[in-house]
Amino acid sequence: MQNEIAYSRPVTLTNILKFAVPTIAMSVFMSFYTMVDGLFVSNLIGTSALSALNLVYPVIALVTAISTMLATGGSAAIMRKMGEGKPDEAKQDFTFLILVNVLTGLVMCGLGYLFMGKIFGSMSLSPEVSAYCWEYLSRYLLFTVPILLMNNFTLYMIAAGKASLSLLCSVAGGVTNIVLDYLFIAVFRWGIGGAAVATGLGYSITAIVGLLVFSNRNSLLHFVRPVCRPQTLGRAVTNGCSEMATALVNGIITLMFNWTMLKYVGEDGVAAITIISYVLAFAGSLYAGYAYGVAPMLSFYYGEQNHEKLRKLVRTSLKIIGAIAAATVLVSLAVTEPLVSIFARPGTPVYDLAVAGNRICSLALLFVGFNIFASGMFTALSNGLISAVLAFSRTFVFTLIAMLVLPVILGVTGIWLATPAAELAAVVLSAVMLLKYRRRYCY
Protein backbone atom coordinates (compact mmCIF):
# COMPACT_ATOMS: atom_id res chain seq x y z
CA MET A 1 0.00 0.00 0.00
CA GLN A 2 1.08 3.58 -0.55
CA ASN A 3 1.05 4.29 3.20
CA GLU A 4 3.41 1.39 3.93
CA ILE A 5 5.73 2.47 1.09
CA ALA A 6 6.13 5.84 2.83
CA TYR A 7 7.80 4.10 5.79
CA SER A 8 10.03 2.00 3.52
CA ARG A 9 11.64 5.02 1.87
CA PRO A 10 15.15 6.15 2.88
CA VAL A 11 15.42 8.52 5.84
CA THR A 12 16.36 11.72 4.04
CA LEU A 13 15.67 15.33 4.86
CA THR A 14 13.10 15.48 2.08
CA ASN A 15 11.21 12.40 3.26
CA ILE A 16 11.29 13.53 6.89
CA LEU A 17 9.89 16.90 5.93
CA LYS A 18 7.08 15.22 3.99
CA PHE A 19 5.89 13.90 7.34
CA ALA A 20 6.83 16.91 9.45
CA VAL A 21 5.96 20.00 7.39
CA PRO A 22 2.21 19.28 7.29
CA THR A 23 2.13 18.69 11.04
CA ILE A 24 4.19 21.81 11.73
CA ALA A 25 1.75 23.88 9.70
CA MET A 26 -1.15 22.04 11.33
CA SER A 27 0.19 22.71 14.82
CA VAL A 28 0.68 26.39 14.03
CA PHE A 29 -2.90 26.69 12.82
CA MET A 30 -4.13 24.86 15.91
CA SER A 31 -2.30 27.38 18.08
CA PHE A 32 -4.48 30.04 16.48
CA TYR A 33 -7.56 28.74 18.30
CA THR A 34 -6.67 30.22 21.69
CA MET A 35 -4.87 33.22 20.24
CA VAL A 36 -7.76 34.23 18.00
CA ASP A 37 -10.22 33.95 20.87
CA GLY A 38 -8.00 36.22 22.95
CA LEU A 39 -7.60 38.68 20.11
CA PHE A 40 -11.33 39.07 19.44
CA VAL A 41 -12.31 38.98 23.10
CA SER A 42 -9.76 41.61 24.17
CA ASN A 43 -10.64 44.00 21.34
CA LEU A 44 -14.40 43.50 21.08
CA ILE A 45 -15.51 42.66 24.63
CA GLY A 46 -12.91 43.90 27.12
CA THR A 47 -10.22 43.02 29.63
CA SER A 48 -12.63 41.40 32.09
CA ALA A 49 -13.61 38.87 29.44
CA LEU A 50 -9.94 38.30 28.60
CA SER A 51 -9.30 37.58 32.27
CA ALA A 52 -12.12 35.02 32.18
CA LEU A 53 -10.35 33.16 29.38
CA ASN A 54 -7.32 32.78 31.63
CA LEU A 55 -9.44 31.65 34.56
CA VAL A 56 -11.20 28.88 32.62
CA TYR A 57 -7.95 27.74 31.02
CA PRO A 58 -7.13 25.13 33.71
CA VAL A 59 -10.42 23.35 32.99
CA ILE A 60 -9.75 23.51 29.26
CA ALA A 61 -6.22 22.24 29.94
CA LEU A 62 -7.71 19.17 31.64
CA VAL A 63 -9.76 18.32 28.54
CA THR A 64 -6.70 18.90 26.36
CA ALA A 65 -4.54 16.80 28.66
CA ILE A 66 -6.80 13.74 28.51
CA SER A 67 -7.23 13.94 24.73
CA THR A 68 -3.50 14.44 24.18
CA MET A 69 -2.67 11.47 26.38
CA LEU A 70 -4.99 9.13 24.51
CA ALA A 71 -3.93 10.47 21.11
CA THR A 72 -0.14 10.38 21.48
CA GLY A 73 -0.01 7.24 23.61
CA GLY A 74 -2.53 5.40 21.46
CA SER A 75 -0.83 6.36 18.20
CA ALA A 76 2.53 5.10 19.47
CA ALA A 77 1.08 1.77 20.61
CA ILE A 78 -0.86 1.19 17.39
CA MET A 79 1.95 2.14 15.00
CA ARG A 80 4.31 -0.11 16.93
CA LYS A 81 1.98 -3.02 16.24
CA MET A 82 1.84 -2.04 12.58
CA GLY A 83 5.64 -2.14 12.50
CA GLU A 84 5.59 -5.56 14.18
CA GLY A 85 3.38 -6.90 11.39
CA LYS A 86 0.11 -7.04 13.35
CA PRO A 87 -2.23 -4.82 11.26
CA ASP A 88 -5.50 -6.54 12.22
CA GLU A 89 -4.76 -6.22 15.92
CA ALA A 90 -3.72 -2.59 15.43
CA LYS A 91 -7.05 -1.75 13.75
CA GLN A 92 -9.01 -3.43 16.56
CA ASP A 93 -7.08 -1.42 19.13
CA PHE A 94 -7.59 1.76 17.09
CA THR A 95 -11.36 1.34 17.05
CA PHE A 96 -11.41 0.47 20.75
CA LEU A 97 -9.42 3.59 21.68
CA ILE A 98 -11.71 5.84 19.64
CA LEU A 99 -14.70 4.46 21.58
CA VAL A 100 -12.82 5.13 24.81
CA ASN A 101 -12.38 8.74 23.69
CA VAL A 102 -16.11 9.14 23.07
CA LEU A 103 -17.05 7.73 26.48
CA THR A 104 -14.37 9.81 28.21
CA GLY A 105 -15.64 12.96 26.52
CA LEU A 106 -19.21 12.34 27.67
CA VAL A 107 -18.08 11.75 31.26
CA MET A 108 -15.90 14.88 31.29
CA CYS A 109 -18.72 16.99 29.88
CA GLY A 110 -21.08 15.80 32.60
CA LEU A 111 -18.55 16.38 35.38
CA GLY A 112 -17.79 19.83 34.00
CA TYR A 113 -21.41 20.97 34.28
CA LEU A 114 -21.73 19.32 37.70
CA PHE A 115 -18.76 21.11 39.28
CA MET A 116 -18.59 24.32 37.26
CA GLY A 117 -20.52 26.37 39.80
CA LYS A 118 -18.34 25.18 42.68
CA ILE A 119 -15.12 25.90 40.76
CA PHE A 120 -15.93 29.53 40.05
CA GLY A 121 -17.67 30.05 43.37
CA SER A 122 -14.43 29.23 45.21
CA MET A 123 -12.44 31.90 43.36
CA SER A 124 -14.01 35.00 44.93
CA LEU A 125 -14.51 36.54 41.50
CA SER A 126 -16.45 39.68 40.68
CA PRO A 127 -19.97 39.01 39.36
CA GLU A 128 -18.96 40.23 35.89
CA VAL A 129 -15.92 37.99 35.54
CA SER A 130 -17.72 35.02 37.09
CA ALA A 131 -20.54 35.40 34.55
CA TYR A 132 -18.01 35.50 31.71
CA CYS A 133 -16.35 32.32 33.01
CA TRP A 134 -19.63 30.44 33.26
CA GLU A 135 -20.80 31.62 29.83
CA TYR A 136 -17.60 30.57 28.05
CA LEU A 137 -17.11 27.20 29.74
CA SER A 138 -20.76 26.15 29.51
CA ARG A 139 -20.57 26.51 25.72
CA TYR A 140 -17.11 25.00 25.43
CA LEU A 141 -18.06 21.80 27.30
CA LEU A 142 -20.68 21.01 24.65
CA PHE A 143 -17.81 20.18 22.29
CA THR A 144 -15.85 17.90 24.64
CA VAL A 145 -16.32 14.78 22.49
CA PRO A 146 -15.39 16.52 19.20
CA ILE A 147 -12.31 17.99 20.90
CA LEU A 148 -11.10 14.55 22.01
CA LEU A 149 -11.78 13.09 18.57
CA MET A 150 -10.04 16.01 16.87
CA ASN A 151 -6.81 15.50 18.78
CA ASN A 152 -6.88 11.76 18.08
CA PHE A 153 -7.82 11.91 14.40
CA THR A 154 -5.18 14.57 13.79
CA LEU A 155 -2.42 12.12 14.77
CA TYR A 156 -4.06 9.00 13.32
CA MET A 157 -4.40 10.67 9.92
CA ILE A 158 -0.67 11.36 10.00
CA ALA A 159 0.08 7.79 11.07
CA ALA A 160 -2.12 6.50 8.23
CA GLY A 161 -0.13 8.49 5.68
CA LYS A 162 -2.73 11.26 5.34
CA ALA A 163 -0.70 14.14 6.76
CA SER A 164 -1.89 16.51 4.02
CA LEU A 165 -5.53 15.83 4.89
CA SER A 166 -4.76 16.39 8.56
CA LEU A 167 -3.20 19.72 7.64
CA LEU A 168 -6.18 20.66 5.48
CA CYS A 169 -8.56 19.91 8.34
CA SER A 170 -6.52 22.02 10.74
CA VAL A 171 -6.39 24.93 8.31
CA ALA A 172 -10.13 24.67 7.70
CA GLY A 173 -10.75 24.57 11.45
CA GLY A 174 -8.54 27.59 12.06
CA VAL A 175 -10.19 29.63 9.31
CA THR A 176 -13.63 28.58 10.54
CA ASN A 177 -12.74 29.70 14.05
CA ILE A 178 -11.55 33.11 12.85
CA VAL A 179 -14.60 33.74 10.67
CA LEU A 180 -17.09 32.53 13.29
CA ASP A 181 -15.36 34.52 16.05
CA TYR A 182 -16.01 37.67 14.08
CA LEU A 183 -19.58 36.73 13.17
CA PHE A 184 -20.61 35.52 16.62
CA ILE A 185 -18.93 38.33 18.61
CA ALA A 186 -18.94 41.37 16.32
CA VAL A 187 -22.04 40.73 14.19
CA PHE A 188 -24.41 38.51 16.21
CA ARG A 189 -23.31 39.98 19.58
CA TRP A 190 -23.19 36.58 21.28
CA GLY A 191 -20.38 37.75 23.54
CA ILE A 192 -17.77 35.45 25.02
CA GLY A 193 -20.07 32.46 24.59
CA GLY A 194 -19.85 33.03 20.85
CA ALA A 195 -16.07 32.69 21.06
CA ALA A 196 -16.46 29.29 22.74
CA VAL A 197 -18.93 28.07 20.10
CA ALA A 198 -16.62 29.28 17.31
CA THR A 199 -13.73 27.35 18.80
CA GLY A 200 -15.82 24.21 19.26
CA LEU A 201 -17.10 24.27 15.68
CA GLY A 202 -13.56 24.75 14.41
CA TYR A 203 -12.45 21.64 16.33
CA SER A 204 -15.43 19.68 15.02
CA ILE A 205 -14.25 19.81 11.41
CA THR A 206 -11.37 17.38 12.01
CA ALA A 207 -13.62 15.16 14.12
CA ILE A 208 -16.23 14.85 11.36
CA VAL A 209 -13.69 14.32 8.58
CA GLY A 210 -11.89 11.72 10.70
CA LEU A 211 -15.07 9.71 11.19
CA LEU A 212 -15.57 9.66 7.42
CA VAL A 213 -11.94 8.85 6.57
CA PHE A 214 -11.57 5.98 9.00
CA SER A 215 -14.85 4.45 7.92
CA ASN A 216 -13.15 3.78 4.56
CA ARG A 217 -11.64 0.28 4.54
CA ASN A 218 -9.01 1.36 2.00
CA SER A 219 -7.27 3.41 4.67
CA LEU A 220 -4.20 1.94 6.39
CA LEU A 221 -6.13 2.41 9.64
CA HIS A 222 -9.90 2.01 9.62
CA PHE A 223 -12.75 1.07 11.92
CA VAL A 224 -13.33 -2.63 12.52
CA ARG A 225 -15.06 -4.60 15.24
CA PRO A 226 -13.27 -3.42 18.39
CA VAL A 227 -11.60 -5.79 20.83
CA CYS A 228 -11.34 -4.63 24.43
CA ARG A 229 -7.74 -5.18 25.51
CA PRO A 230 -7.07 -3.48 28.86
CA GLN A 231 -3.34 -3.69 28.19
CA THR A 232 -3.81 -1.57 25.05
CA LEU A 233 -5.51 1.17 27.04
CA GLY A 234 -2.82 0.80 29.69
CA ARG A 235 -0.06 1.30 27.11
CA ALA A 236 -1.83 4.32 25.64
CA VAL A 237 -2.22 5.92 29.07
CA THR A 238 1.35 5.09 30.10
CA ASN A 239 2.92 6.22 26.82
CA GLY A 240 0.88 9.41 26.66
CA CYS A 241 1.11 10.42 30.31
CA SER A 242 4.02 12.77 29.65
CA GLU A 243 2.03 14.72 27.05
CA MET A 244 -0.93 14.73 29.45
CA ALA A 245 1.30 16.10 32.21
CA THR A 246 2.56 18.83 29.90
CA ALA A 247 -0.95 19.98 28.97
CA LEU A 248 -2.28 19.73 32.53
CA VAL A 249 0.65 21.45 34.19
CA ASN A 250 0.42 24.31 31.68
CA GLY A 251 -2.86 25.27 33.28
CA ILE A 252 -1.37 25.23 36.77
CA ILE A 253 1.70 27.19 35.69
CA THR A 254 -0.50 29.78 33.96
CA LEU A 255 -2.32 30.38 37.23
CA MET A 256 0.97 30.67 39.09
CA PHE A 257 2.33 33.22 36.63
CA ASN A 258 -0.88 35.24 36.94
CA TRP A 259 -0.75 35.24 40.75
CA THR A 260 2.91 36.28 40.76
CA MET A 261 2.29 39.08 38.29
CA LEU A 262 -0.61 40.36 40.39
CA LYS A 263 1.73 40.49 43.37
CA TYR A 264 4.54 42.38 41.64
CA VAL A 265 2.78 44.49 38.98
CA GLY A 266 -0.99 44.15 39.17
CA GLU A 267 -3.60 43.61 36.48
CA ASP A 268 -1.42 45.14 33.76
CA GLY A 269 1.11 42.41 34.45
CA VAL A 270 -1.54 39.70 34.07
CA ALA A 271 -2.55 41.11 30.69
CA ALA A 272 1.11 41.24 29.64
CA ILE A 273 1.79 37.64 30.67
CA THR A 274 -1.27 36.58 28.70
CA ILE A 275 0.13 38.17 25.56
CA ILE A 276 3.54 36.56 26.11
CA SER A 277 1.90 33.16 26.56
CA TYR A 278 0.28 33.53 23.14
CA VAL A 279 3.62 34.38 21.55
CA LEU A 280 5.46 31.47 23.20
CA ALA A 281 2.65 29.03 22.43
CA PHE A 282 2.70 30.05 18.77
CA ALA A 283 6.47 29.57 18.49
CA GLY A 284 6.38 26.34 20.51
CA SER A 285 3.79 24.93 18.13
CA LEU A 286 6.53 24.65 15.50
CA TYR A 287 8.42 22.19 17.69
CA ALA A 288 5.32 20.29 18.73
CA GLY A 289 4.32 19.98 15.09
CA TYR A 290 7.66 18.48 14.16
CA ALA A 291 7.58 16.03 17.08
CA TYR A 292 4.06 14.90 16.11
CA GLY A 293 5.11 14.49 12.49
CA VAL A 294 8.06 12.17 13.09
CA ALA A 295 6.51 10.22 15.98
CA PRO A 296 4.84 7.59 13.74
CA MET A 297 8.17 7.08 11.94
CA LEU A 298 9.99 6.58 15.24
CA SER A 299 7.37 4.09 16.44
CA PHE A 300 7.35 2.18 13.14
CA TYR A 301 11.13 1.87 12.88
CA TYR A 302 11.36 0.83 16.52
CA GLY A 303 8.71 -1.85 16.04
CA GLU A 304 10.48 -2.96 12.86
CA GLN A 305 13.83 -3.00 14.72
CA ASN A 306 15.38 -0.95 11.91
CA HIS A 307 18.16 0.63 13.99
CA GLU A 308 19.88 2.30 11.05
CA LYS A 309 16.79 4.27 10.04
CA LEU A 310 15.96 5.06 13.66
CA ARG A 311 19.48 6.38 14.30
CA LYS A 312 19.49 8.56 11.20
CA LEU A 313 16.01 9.93 11.94
CA VAL A 314 16.97 10.99 15.48
CA ARG A 315 20.24 12.64 14.44
CA THR A 316 18.69 14.46 11.50
CA SER A 317 15.83 15.62 13.72
CA LEU A 318 18.22 17.18 16.22
CA LYS A 319 19.84 19.17 13.39
CA ILE A 320 16.45 20.32 12.09
CA ILE A 321 15.34 21.41 15.55
CA GLY A 322 18.56 23.36 16.02
CA ALA A 323 17.88 25.26 12.80
CA ILE A 324 14.27 25.95 13.81
CA ALA A 325 15.46 27.15 17.22
CA ALA A 326 17.81 29.73 15.75
CA ALA A 327 15.15 30.94 13.31
CA THR A 328 12.37 31.26 15.89
CA VAL A 329 14.52 33.29 18.28
CA LEU A 330 15.45 35.75 15.54
CA VAL A 331 11.87 36.06 14.29
CA SER A 332 10.45 36.46 17.81
CA LEU A 333 12.86 39.30 18.58
CA ALA A 334 12.23 40.96 15.21
CA VAL A 335 8.41 40.98 15.41
CA THR A 336 8.01 41.62 19.14
CA GLU A 337 6.68 45.17 18.90
CA PRO A 338 4.23 44.72 15.99
CA LEU A 339 2.96 41.45 17.45
CA VAL A 340 2.35 42.87 20.93
CA SER A 341 0.63 45.91 19.39
CA ILE A 342 -2.11 43.61 18.08
CA PHE A 343 -3.22 42.97 21.67
CA ALA A 344 -2.20 46.21 23.43
CA ARG A 345 -1.87 49.83 22.32
CA PRO A 346 1.71 51.16 22.07
CA GLY A 347 2.66 53.43 24.93
CA THR A 348 0.46 51.72 27.50
CA PRO A 349 1.91 49.92 30.56
CA VAL A 350 0.68 46.58 29.23
CA TYR A 351 2.45 47.14 25.92
CA ASP A 352 5.74 48.15 27.55
CA LEU A 353 5.66 45.17 29.93
CA ALA A 354 4.85 42.69 27.16
CA VAL A 355 7.57 43.99 24.83
CA ALA A 356 10.22 43.81 27.56
CA GLY A 357 9.01 40.40 28.66
CA ASN A 358 8.97 38.88 25.18
CA ARG A 359 12.56 39.92 24.53
CA ILE A 360 13.66 38.00 27.61
CA CYS A 361 11.32 35.03 27.21
CA SER A 362 12.47 34.53 23.60
CA LEU A 363 15.67 32.98 25.02
CA ALA A 364 13.55 29.94 25.96
CA LEU A 365 13.05 29.18 22.27
CA LEU A 366 16.69 28.10 22.05
CA PHE A 367 15.94 25.09 24.26
CA VAL A 368 12.24 24.26 24.14
CA GLY A 369 12.39 22.43 20.81
CA PHE A 370 14.96 19.91 22.04
CA ASN A 371 12.91 19.30 25.18
CA ILE A 372 9.66 18.73 23.28
CA PHE A 373 11.36 16.38 20.82
CA ALA A 374 13.09 14.37 23.54
CA SER A 375 9.85 13.82 25.44
CA GLY A 376 7.93 12.98 22.25
CA MET A 377 10.67 10.60 21.11
CA PHE A 378 10.51 8.52 24.29
CA THR A 379 6.72 8.38 23.94
CA ALA A 380 7.09 7.11 20.38
CA LEU A 381 9.58 4.50 21.63
CA SER A 382 6.97 3.33 24.18
CA ASN A 383 8.98 4.59 27.17
CA GLY A 384 6.25 6.65 28.75
CA LEU A 385 8.00 6.83 32.12
CA ILE A 386 11.09 8.69 30.88
CA SER A 387 8.91 10.86 28.65
CA ALA A 388 6.81 11.77 31.69
CA VAL A 389 9.89 12.57 33.79
CA LEU A 390 11.20 14.90 31.10
CA ALA A 391 7.86 16.61 30.52
CA PHE A 392 6.97 16.99 34.20
CA SER A 393 10.43 18.28 35.15
CA ARG A 394 10.37 20.82 32.35
CA THR A 395 6.84 22.11 32.69
CA PHE A 396 6.44 21.98 36.45
CA VAL A 397 9.47 21.19 38.64
CA PHE A 398 11.99 23.50 36.99
CA THR A 399 9.41 26.21 36.32
CA LEU A 400 8.14 26.09 39.90
CA ILE A 401 11.69 26.44 41.30
CA ALA A 402 12.45 29.32 38.93
CA MET A 403 9.20 31.10 39.80
CA LEU A 404 9.84 30.80 43.53
CA VAL A 405 13.47 31.95 43.40
CA LEU A 406 14.07 34.38 40.54
CA PRO A 407 11.30 36.97 41.22
CA VAL A 408 12.49 37.29 44.83
CA ILE A 409 15.96 38.17 43.57
CA LEU A 410 15.21 40.08 40.36
CA GLY A 411 11.59 41.21 40.68
CA VAL A 412 9.60 41.39 37.43
CA THR A 413 12.71 40.52 35.40
CA GLY A 414 12.91 37.28 37.37
CA ILE A 415 9.35 36.40 36.29
CA TRP A 416 10.33 36.77 32.64
CA LEU A 417 13.55 34.80 33.18
CA ALA A 418 11.74 31.89 34.82
CA THR A 419 10.75 30.25 31.52
CA PRO A 420 14.22 30.42 29.86
CA ALA A 421 15.84 29.17 33.09
CA ALA A 422 13.43 26.23 33.33
CA GLU A 423 13.95 25.29 29.67
CA LEU A 424 17.74 25.46 30.09
CA ALA A 425 17.61 23.09 33.07
CA ALA A 426 15.28 20.79 31.14
CA VAL A 427 17.54 20.61 28.08
CA VAL A 428 20.39 19.42 30.31
CA LEU A 429 18.16 16.65 31.68
CA SER A 430 16.99 15.75 28.15
CA ALA A 431 20.59 15.45 26.97
CA VAL A 432 21.43 13.16 29.88
CA MET A 433 18.48 10.86 29.10
CA LEU A 434 19.20 10.78 25.37
CA LEU A 435 22.77 9.71 26.05
CA LYS A 436 21.76 7.21 28.73
CA TYR A 437 19.27 5.34 26.53
CA ARG A 438 21.17 5.61 23.25
CA ARG A 439 22.47 2.04 23.36
CA ARG A 440 19.18 0.56 24.50
CA TYR A 441 17.25 1.93 21.50
CA CYS A 442 20.22 2.00 19.10
CA TYR A 443 19.60 5.56 17.85
- The reported pLDDT for the residue numbered 244 is 79
Q: What is the pLDDT of residues 280-298, one digit of tens each?
A: 887 778 888 898 888 888 9
Q: What is the rounded (10 degree) CA torsion for 234, 238, 243, 248?
A: 80
- The reported pLDDT for the residue numbered 55 is 76
- The reported pLDDT for the residue numbered 1 is 46
Q: Is the pLDDT of residue 308 over 50?
A: yes
Task: Taking residues 251-267, report their average pLDDT.
Answer: 76
Q: What is the pLDDT of residues 404-428, one digit of tens each?
A: 999 999 999 999 999 999 999 999 9
Question: Do residues 354 and 344 make contact, with C-beta atoms less than 8 angstroms apart?
Answer: yes
User: Which of 140-154, 247-261, 371-385, 388-402 has the highest average model confidence (pLDDT)?
Assistant: 140-154
CA distance 430 to 398: 13
pLDDT band at 190 (very low <50, low <70, confident <90, very high): very high
Task: Taking residues 297-326, report their average pLDDT.
Answer: 90
The number of folded domains in the chain is 1
Q: Is the pLDDT of residue 5 over 70?
A: no
Name every residue whose Cβ is closer than 8 Å to that of residue 261 and which is 6 or more positions away in sequence: 269, 270, 272, 273, 415
Distances in whole angstroms, Cα of residue 432 to Cα of each of 111, 130, 371? 40, 45, 12
Q: What is the pLDDT of residues 383-399, one digit of tens each?
A: 888 988 998 898 889 99
Range of the domain at 108: 2-441
- The reported pLDDT for the residue numbered 319 is 93
Q: Is the pLDDT of residue 2 over 50?
A: no
Task: Taking residues 150-166, report their average pLDDT.
Answer: 87
- The reported pLDDT for the residue numbered 120 is 77
- The reported pLDDT for the residue numbered 139 is 96
Q: Is the pLDDT of residue 3 over 70?
A: no
Burial class for 311, CB neighbours closer than 10 Å (0-12, 13-18, 19+) = middle
User: Which of 45-59, 244-258, 412-426 has the highest average model confidence (pLDDT)?
Assistant: 412-426
In percent, the amount of the chain with pLDDT more than 90 equals 42
Task: Taking residues 105-132, report their average pLDDT.
Answer: 85
Question: Do residues 135 and 272 make contact, with C-beta atoms less than 8 angstroms apart?
Answer: no
